[in-house]
Structure 1
Amino acid sequence: MSRFSVIVPAYRVQGYLRECLDSVLGQSHADWQLIVVDDASPDASGAIAAEYTRRDPRVRAVTLPAREGVGAARAAGVRVATGTYLLFLDADDALLPGALTAIDVALTGAGDPDVLLYDHDRTDWWDKVRGSGDDLAGDTDPLTLTPAAWNRAVRREFWAERGLAFAAEGPYEDVVPAHRAVLEAATLATLPRPCVRWRRRRAGGLAATPGRQHFAVVERYGELLAGPGDTQRVFPVAVGRVLDVLDDSTRTPAADRPELFRLAAELHRAHRPAGHTPLDEREQAVAAGSWPAYQKQEKTNGLKRSVGSALKRQKKRLRSRVMKAAYRTDLRTARLDPDLAVYGAYWNRGVSCNPAAIHAAARRTAPHVKGVFVVSSRHQERVPAGVPYVIEGSRRYWQAMATAKYLVNNSSFPGGFTKRPGQVYLQTHHGTPLKKMGLDQRRYPAGTHGISFAKVLAHTDQWDYSLSANPHSTQVWERVYPSSAYAPLELGYPRNDVLFTTGDDEIRAIRRELGIGDGQRAILYAPTHRDYQKGFLPRLDLVRFADALGDDHVVLVRAHYFYGAEAGLADTHPRLIDVTGHGRVEELCLAADALVTDYSSVMFDYACLDRPIITYAPDWQAYRLARGTYFDLLSGLPGDTPGAVATTEEELLALFQDGGWDSPATTRLRAAFRERFCAYDDGGAADRVVRKLFLNG
């Protein structure tokens, strides 16, 4: 008997089926049975299923003689399933890496409940990934979560005992068993981690096909409300789901809406519990059976939203014009403040990187210079106490930009400022370039995202200084940001000073704060952003990695800041610590005994510590083709490769099992890498920059 039976119905999904099945075969958790049910598909789906049975004995293909529908196909899979838990996966969706391990851990931790609900994310034909919108980590009633077959693991014996079944035909076939599983489970647990990627198809999928077939949602919820269960609890959920379909133009065309409304009103009259009060004006119209009242409410709400949005846009435009006009006046009339410096980092995300280190050093070495950071309103809570700041676009922001003598940024200032005579602009950058940058990006359009290279050059022409941590950076910046307006400052990266000056006691305190136990070895896993991948999707089964390292290790996971403040681990493993939202990556480097990364510039900073660096690059060729690189990170040549290299998960695990991650050979590679890329870093970069910029040193 397997732990899981994963059931995949297949009908006209030949373009997606391989990806779906590969997502199961690629799981690190190996105790599963995969059942592919060919619902008499007229395309190659059946042949693909047969191919996978030959590839792996855990795969079983079931062929139906005639098409019966997705519900019947799933039921056919259930009949031959032998796993302890049933998992249903649509053939155009996929399990996310590490999903089965995470589900297994959650089930075991909950004592093998009847039902485990887990989260999912969503993608479309543009590969744009979004969250599910479900809140499994909060106090949400599980009945209100997405009622789908594919976001829950159900104990097979419980499924049989309760007589759970999908509708024999028609859409919304999983509504009744999905809700009944929640209502009737004696034990239920949740896993707030995305385990499934749900795909919205441009054509062929139910969600993208409008029509009267969506009327089936009324029938399904009518069946649910007529059966056993807590009607008081189910009724508002049912009404809300039906009205969501009614209001969704991608499912219900305008011509079909009056009829679906009539069916919704009948459902409401037939099953409304005694004492139930309509939750909103929308339901009041349904309770009254008045389609005109429903339309009127829609128009009223739509008008309110439209007017509100228009007023907000108009107010924003007017405010922007007023601020810009005042700024232009300040440029002409306000005098420069010789002791004011404006700082910015990572497109106004907070106080960090080289600008933060320069600001801190200026407070010590040039205290007459008043510093103020530019932050967006979304990130002002990240500003440490005692650090002055202005909100981007505000009157104070434009006043500071017009009057400050010094401008310091690692990216760019917002709003299109005009540098005036007498101002001094230091571009600190925020990493040593491995990937192509600036004008070199023109040959790699996947990473440009509509960049105006004319604006890039106009911005470059405002720089007075360009900061470098090594000769490689100086040479690259000079070519890809060509301008005679600025001079290179080969003084090192101020943000790296702490890597040389922090004492052992301070490092121990950082480790304790992060939750690293005494005697544990900390591995920092910090992959970079990929222009061809939406959302944080690590190419590494983190749970498997943590298990393989053992109890004396802890893994710090740092997702790229483009993906938000969390990596989405949600307590999947006791030795996986999500540090994506940690304010200072330098502290994470200090806390880590080794770094595992792919193409992130953190490798160049971490090299200052002279600790092991492991390059895990499973998609190196794709990355080089999509973005371009300045040297071959995997060549093994001194100066190019910082240490051990793995291109598969198995190779990475083997490096830690046989000691290859830290050997005399990798030590020699690391020394050459440090010599090339840490040439100007020694712990005194910030003071050198402050003396040069503020003290005419």
Structure 2
Amino acid sequence: MPLLSIVLPVYRVQAYLRECLDSILQQSFTDIEVIAVDDCSPDHCGAILDEYAARDRRLRVVHLAENVGLGQARNVGMRHVTGEYVWFVDSDDWIAPGALAAVADRLHTTDPDVLVVDYSKVWWNNKSARSKLSNLARAESLPMVFTLAERPNMIKLFHVAWNKIFRREFLVRNEVAFPTGLYEDVPVGYSVLILADRIAVLERVCIYYRQRRQGAITSTPGYRHFEVFEQYDRLFALLDRIGERAAPFRGAVFARMMYQCLLVLENRDRVGRSHQQEFFAALAKAYARHVPADGYPMPTGRERVKHLLVARRAYTFWLFSRLSFALRRSVEGKAKWLQRKVRLRSRLRMAYYRFQLRRPMDEGLAVFSTYWGKGYSCNPAAVYEKMVELAPGVRGVWELKSGVTAPSEVDSVTIGTLRHYRMLARAKYLVSNVNYPGWVVKRPGAVHLSTNHGTPVKAMGVDQLKHPAGIRGMNMNWLLKRCDRWTYSVSPNAYTTEIWERAYPCGYETLEVGYPRNDVLANATAEQVADARARLGLEPGQVAVAYLPTYRDYEFGTDALLNVGRFADQLPPGTVLLVRVHHFDRTIVAGDHPQVMDVCDHPRVEDIYLAADMLITDYSSVMFDYAVLDRPIAIFASDWDTYRTTRGAYLDVFSEGPGVAARTEAELVELFRSGAVSGEQAALTRKVFRKRFCYLDDGRASERVVRRVFLDQPVPALPETGAVPVVAIEQLQELRTVEDDSQPRESPTIDDDAREGAVLTH
């Protein structure tokens, strides 16, 4: 029997689940079991849990056949607990390093019914704030063990379940269970403190309480927040059943009810303006139902006024006091906002744009853009071409910088012209692989499609805040406000979906359908490969090795990038090195070396993929695209330690990469000379990589996007098998297929759970 059982309800937290699981399973204290309850999560949570359970026997997974909510999911998990103590942890939070050892030590020392641990709130921008537990504990001069009767002020402890660790026998004996609905912690959080004979406190931050920017039910406006009154009704009924032991705390609990419900009322992320009066009326009724006959601890100052207004049902006066307070706090910020608006509207073109916004939206117009107007390419180009085929009722216009051209058959507009402002203002669809400028307005009914442009190796979005070198003065608030305009966000695989949801925490719909730009690779024929080689000027019989490094956000030495001339000198005769650096970078100069070809300005990177027999890259997302072709890939990562420390990385290119890897130029040369770059082990590594990242690349990603976005149809069926590789041209060494003999591991089931729609996996 383990000392500690951790119950982990899981629902729609795929972006955060791995961090939570790692924080638990990688602790030095190991005498634990983890019961994860997959509450019929519609994302990849169930698969993530099974992946971790296959690696660690301490994790058991219960898969529910239907969604039952947080409270009931905890109850299901509780039925599988075997430990002496139980900790209900929310799966988007994470445990502090060393916390389990500290918890175990305090449990052994105090033998409590309830152990309360400290926590810290952590916001999406990495700002944090420790709870008030330490201040409260110091003010109360707490002994090691106490009862609530001995320290009644401890009723002010945050009433949630996840900051408390319970003796299992205590919960069973008192028949403690979580109710359905939102705010399910209310009836449990207060009653357990009243019932406990032994309460202990650990004044150490043990858990980090994630404050999500979007997506948390507690920060989503709607009628569900009215459920807080039902939970307090349950709590007061429970206090009646507890009887004499609960009587001294009724007034304090009532004061906590008023405190919490007023917070909910004043939070626009919970109660919208249109529901405020109704919520206020419901609070006034709850006040009348539960106010103790002998009074309660009334707050002072402005909070006291709020209580009195609720008691008198004086919504108009409450609203007036609320508005006057908000007005005083916003005067300075409003003045700055007005100054900024005046500056914007003083510009003739912006005034013209605003005028066009008032005109009817063109339901059949779509504006496309790639890399801020730098050309016709990438995912938007693939989507555009499929849109022309499948949705002829929509006409597309490409915005391009002055001097940049598109194919002759493609309509385009120069950025900054009046026609450009008119198109942006009136188009129903805006499609880009980056973000449109901050001044672009998303009109009601408009559709913004972010196709994105890579599978991330390096930290992106919010995750960059942990690595300042990758931000370089970026305003993350403004970035996320631009992302808030997204209606859809395209993802090439489950791995990227998890990252995008965490890196860009906004309200878009994810289209996990593969990258449209890779359709040309999945569908390529031998003739198309030959045409691509001809466009690049490759001679028959030449072996082409592409070198496509990524951009560095920090100062780096010359050894970070490949010396292309010196490397080319060591390649066999008849080999050509195709060099294309990141569009932000021009640090590599190919010069006039006879075996080096500068393809930086070639308009289609897909041609380079198709023409190249092998690829050398570092941390660039091109490795994921090129892997669709199932051709040899080498990673040259001489500055790997500096890069992942400075910029951050989601995967290890040495252990999780698509082929062979080298830290030095000499190692890279040897990989080519020995044939290891195209050997059996490299092929097996690439096969594993393709299964993980390229399984959606079946040549139909563009169709799936167009049908969902422009035709408003369900996403077509996704491929059940892996990607279809392109047969390499004759110059490539034939690779022997290495079969993967591993079989899916069967998961044992629990009969009781099967009857109630749950499956338990180890």
Q: TM-score, normalised by structure 1?
A: 0.52
CA contact (8 A) 2:344 2:350 kept: no
Distance 1:593 1:533 in 2: 32
Q: SS in structure 2 opposite 1:467?
A: strand
Q: In the alignment, which of 518, 528, 551 is matched to residue 529 of structure 1?
A: 551
Task: Tell me the amino acid that sits aligned with residue 681 of structure 1.
Answer: D
Equivalent residue, structure 2, for 1:134: none
Equivalent residue, structure 2, for 1:209: none
Q: In the alignment, which of 603, 608, 621 is matched to residue 623 of structure 2?
A: 603
Does 2:603 correspond to 1:583?
A: yes
Alpha-carbon spacing, 1:398–1:536, altered in 2? closer, same or farther (3 Å) = farther
1:72-91 deviation digits (Å, cap 9, x = unpaired) = xxxxxxxxxxxxxxxxxxxx
Q: SS in structure 1 opposite 2:372?
A: coil
Percent identity (aligned): 48
Residue 623 of structure 1, CA deviation:
0.4
Does 2:520 correspond to 1:498?
A: yes
Residue 662 of structure 1, CA deviation:
1.2
Equivalent residue, structure 2, for 1:568: 589
Does 2:364 correspond to 1:339?
A: yes
1:180-219 deviation digits (Å, cap 9, x = unpaired) = xxxxxxxxxxxxxxxxxxxxxxxxxxxxxxxxxxxxxxxx
1:314-353 deviation digits (Å, cap 9, x = unpaired) = xxx9998111111112212x11111100111112211110
Equivalent residue, structure 1, for 2:576: 554
CA contact (8 A) 2:516 2:701 kept: yes
CA contact (8 A) 1:341 1:371 kept: yes
Distance 2:417 2:558 in 1: 33
Q: In the alignment, which of 463, 468, 472 is matched to residue 486 of structure 2?
A: 463
Distance 2:701 2:344 in 1: 43
Equivalent residue, structure 2, for 1:103: none
Q: In the alignment, which of 338, 356, 368 is matched to residue 330 of structure 1?
A: 356
Distance 2:601 2:711 in 1: 35
Alignment map for 1:470-481 (pairs within 5 Å): 470-481=493-504
Q: In the alignment, which of 671, 677, 688 is matched to residue 693 of structure 2?
A: 677
Q: SS in structure 2 opposite 1:615?
A: strand
Equivalent residue, structure 2, for 1:653: 669
Does 2:664 correspond to 1:641?
A: no
Equivalent residue, structure 1, for 2:380: 355
Equivalent residue, structure 1, for 2:38: none
Task: Tell me the amino acid that sits aligned with residue 427 of structure 1.
Answer: S
Distance 1:626 1:658 in 2: 33
Alpha-carbon spacing, 1:534–1:653, altered in 2? closer, same or farther (3 Å) = closer
Distance 2:524 2:486 in 1: 32
Q: SS in structure 1 opposite 2:388?
A: helix
1:607-655 deviation digits (Å, cap 9, x = unpaired) = 10011110010000010011000111112xxxx2211111000000001
1:531-582 deviation digits (Å, cap 9, x = unpaired) = 1148998622212211211212111001111125x942231x1110000111
Q: In the alignment, which of 596, 610, 613 is matched to residue 633 of structure 2?
A: 613
Does 2:461 correspond to 1:445?
A: no
1:120-147 deviation digits (Å, cap 9, x = unpaired) = xxxxxxxxxxxxxxxxxxxxxxxxxxxx
Alignment map for 1:50-89 (pairs within 5 Å): none
1:290-335 deviation digits (Å, cap 9, x = unpaired) = xxxxxxxxxxxxxxxxxxxxxxxxxxx9998111111112212x11
CA contact (8 A) 1:529 1:562 kept: yes
Distance 2:346 2:575 in 1: 52
CA contact (8 A) 1:545 1:653 kept: yes
Equivalent residue, structure 1, for 2:683: 667
CA contact (8 A) 1:597 1:616 kept: yes
CA contact (8 A) 1:527 1:538 kept: no
Equivalent residue, structure 1, for 2:210: none
Equivalent residue, structure 2, for 1:385: 408
Q: SS in structure 1 opposite 2:457?
A: coil
Distance 1:612 1:533 in 2: 30
Q: In the alignment, which of 552, 570, 594 is matched to residue 614 of structure 2?
A: 594
Moved over 6 A (4+): 317-320, 534-538
Alignment length (residue pairs): 371
CA contact (8 A) 1:344 1:412 kept: no
Equivalent residue, structure 2, for 1:370: 395
Distance 2:469 2:345 in 1: 35
Distance 1:325 1:519 in 2: 59
Distance 1:319 1:344 in 2: 25
Q: SS in structure 1 opposite 2:676?
A: coil
Alpha-carbon spacing, 1:494–1:632, altered in 2? closer, same or farther (3 Å) = same
Alpha-carbon spacing, 1:540–1:387, altered in 2? closer, same or farther (3 Å) = same
Alpha-carbon spacing, 1:390–1:415, altered in 2? closer, same or farther (3 Å) = farther
Distance 2:483 2:557 in 1: 30
Task: Tell me the amino acid that sits aligned with residue 613 of structure 2.
Answer: D
1:244-283 deviation digits (Å, cap 9, x = unpaired) = xxxxxxxxxxxxxxxxxxxxxxxxxxxxxxxxxxxxxxxx
Task: Tell me the amino acid that sits aligned with residue 587 of structure 1.
Answer: D
Residue 384 of structure 1, CA deviation:
2.2
Residue 381 of structure 1, CA deviation:
2.8
1:1-24 deviation digits (Å, cap 9, x = unpaired) = xxxxxxxxxxxxxxxxxxxxxxxx
Q: In the alignment, which of 532, 550, 557 is matched to residue 510 of structure 1?
A: 532
CA contact (8 A) 1:491 1:685 kept: yes
Distance 1:478 1:582 in 2: 33
Alpha-carbon spacing, 1:339–1:536, altered in 2? closer, same or farther (3 Å) = farther
Equivalent residue, structure 2, for 1:256: none
Q: Which moved more, 1:507-516 or 1:464-473?
A: 507-516
RMSD: 1.9
CA contact (8 A) 2:560 2:637 kept: no
Task: Tell me the amino acid that sits aligned with residue 561 of structure 2.
Answer: R
Task: Tell me the amino acid that sits aligned with residue 609 of structure 2.
Answer: C
Distance 1:523 1:320 in 2: 53
Equivalent residue, structure 1, for 2:126: none
Alpha-carbon spacing, 1:348–1:381, altered in 2? closer, same or farther (3 Å) = closer
Distance 2:465 2:670 in 1: 39
CA contact (8 A) 2:438 2:482 kept: no
Distance 2:392 2:588 in 1: 39
CA contact (8 A) 2:379 2:517 kept: yes
Distance 1:534 1:361 in 2: 41
CA contact (8 A) 1:527 1:597 kept: yes
Distance 2:699 2:348 in 1: 45
Distance 2:614 2:406 in 1: 29
Q: In the alignment, which of 447, 450, 460 is matched to residue 427 of structure 1?
A: 450
CA contact (8 A) 1:526 1:597 kept: yes
Q: SS in structure 1 opposite 2:397?
A: strand
CA contact (8 A) 1:469 1:491 kept: yes
Distance 2:513 2:446 in 1: 21
Alignment map for 1:249-260 (pairs within 5 Å): none
Distance 1:544 1:609 in 2: 28
Q: SS in structure 2 opposite 1:692?
A: helix
CA contact (8 A) 1:401 1:417 kept: yes
